[in-house]
Amino acid sequence: MGTHQNTIVSSFTETRRLRLPSHVAHALHGACLHGYRHHPRQALLEKTQQTLQIRTHPRRRGTRQLDFPVVLVQIPMFNEKEVYKISIGAACGLSWPADRLVIQVLDDSTDPAIKLLVEQECQRWGSKGINITYQIRENRTGYKAGALKEGLKRSYVKNCEYVAIIDADFRPDPDFLRRSIPFLVHNPDIALVQARWRFVNADECLLTRMQEMSLDYHFTVEQEVGSATHAFFGFNGTAGIWRIAAINEAGGWKDRTTVEDMDLAVRASLRGWKFVYLGDLQVKSELPSTFKAFRFQQHRWSCGPANLFRKMVWEIIQNKKVRFWKKVYVIYSFFFVRKIIAHMVTFSFYCVVLPLTILVPEVKVPIWGAVYIPSVITILNSVGTPRSIHLLFYWILFENVMSLHRTKATLIGLLEAGRANEWVVTEKLGDAVKKAAEAVKNKTNAKAPRRFRIKFTDRLNTLELGFAAFLFLCGCYDFVHGKNNYFVYLFLQTITFFITGIGYVGTII
Most confident of 305-319, 356-370, 385-399, 451-465: 305-319
Q: Where are the alpha helices (DSSP H) in 187-259?
A: 206-217, 224-228, 244-249
- What's the pLDDT score for residue 376? 83
Give per-residue pLDDT as tens, 311-362: 999 999 999 988 999 999 999 999 999 999 999 999 999 999 999 998 888 8
The bridge status of strand 240-243 relative to strand 162-165 is antiparallel
Average pLDDT over the chain, rounded to whole? 84
> In this structure, is residue 250 part of a structural domain?
no
Q: Is residue 433 part of a domain?
A: yes
Catalytic residue annotation: 108, 261
Per-residue confidence band for 31, with pLDDT thresholds at 50, 70 and 90: very low
For residues 127-152, average pLDDT: 94
Give the lowest-confidence range in 203-207, 216-220, 379-383.
Answer: 379-383
Tell me, rounded to whole angstroms, the distance of Cα 364 from its chain centroid: 40
Where residue 439 falls among pLDDT bands split at 50, 70, 90?
A: low
Q: What is the pLDDT of residue 356?
A: 92
- 115-130: average pLDDT: 96
Out of 255-264, 281-290, 296-305, 451-460, which region has the weakest mean confidence (pLDDT)?
451-460
State residue 67's pLDDT score: 76
At 96, give phi and psi (nearest 5°): -155, 145
In which band, very low, low, confident or very high, does the pLDDT at 280 lie, cut at 50, 70 and 90?
very high
| Domain housing 432 | 335-501
Contacts of 488 (CB under 8 A, 6+ apart): none
pLDDT at 86 over 90: yes
Helical H segments across 19-73, by residue range: 20-33, 40-51
Per-residue pLDDT of 166-196, as tens digits, reads 999 999 999 999 999 999 999 999 999 999 9
- pLDDT at 165 > cutoff 50: yes
Question: How crowded is residue 58: how many other Cβ atoms within 10 Å of its Cβ?
Answer: 5
Q: Is residue 429 part of a domain?
A: yes
Q: Is the dihedral of CA 139, 141, 145, 148 positive or negative?
A: negative
The reply to whether 449 falls in a domain is yes
For residue 434, the model assigns a pLDDT of 57
Write down how long the chain is.
509
Q: What was the pLDDT predicted at 8?
A: 39
For residue 379, the model assigns a pLDDT of 81
Mean pLDDT along residues 61-81: 81
Nearest CA to 95 among 196, 183, 172? 172
Mean pLDDT of 33-40: 39
The confidence score (pLDDT) of residue 482 equals 80
Kindly state the DSSP code that residue 289 receives in the 8-state scheme.
-
User: Does residue 164 sit within a domain?
Assistant: no
User: Is residue 104 domain-resident?
Assistant: no
Rounded CA gap, 91 and 35, in Å? Answer: 33
Provide the sign of the torsion angle of the four alpha carbons 314, 318, 319, 323, taken in this order: positive
The domain total for the chain is 2
Q: What's the pLDDT score for residue 28?
A: 41
Residues of the chain above pLDDT 70, percent: 81
Report the SS3 class of residue 151: helix
> pLDDT value at position 100?
96
Helix/strand/coil (H, E, C) string of 430-494?
CCHHHHHHHHHHHCCCCCCCCCCCCCHHHHCCHHHHHHHHHHHHHHHHHHHHCCCCCHHHHHHHH
How far apart CA 129 and CA 307 sit, in angstroms, is 44
Task: Give domain status of residue 153, yes or no.
Answer: no
Least confident segment among 31-45, 130-144, 264-278: 31-45
- Contact between residue 501 and residue 456 where contact means Cβ atoms under 8 Å apart: no
**Alpha-carbon distance 342 to 210, whole Å?**
18
The pLDDT of residue 21:
41
Is 294 among the domain residues? Answer: no
Sign of the C-alpha dihedral, residues 201, 202, 203, 208? positive
Res 435: pLDDT: 55
* Cβ proximity of 239 and 291 under 8 Å: no
Q: Where are the alpha helices (DSSP H) in 59-142?
A: 84-92, 112-126
* 230-233 long-range contacts, CB within 8 A, separation 24+: 230/33, 230/34, 230/37, 231/326, 231/329, 231/333, 232/265, 232/266, 232/269, 232/275, 232/326, 232/329, 232/330, 232/334, 233/194, 233/265, 233/275, 233/277, 233/334
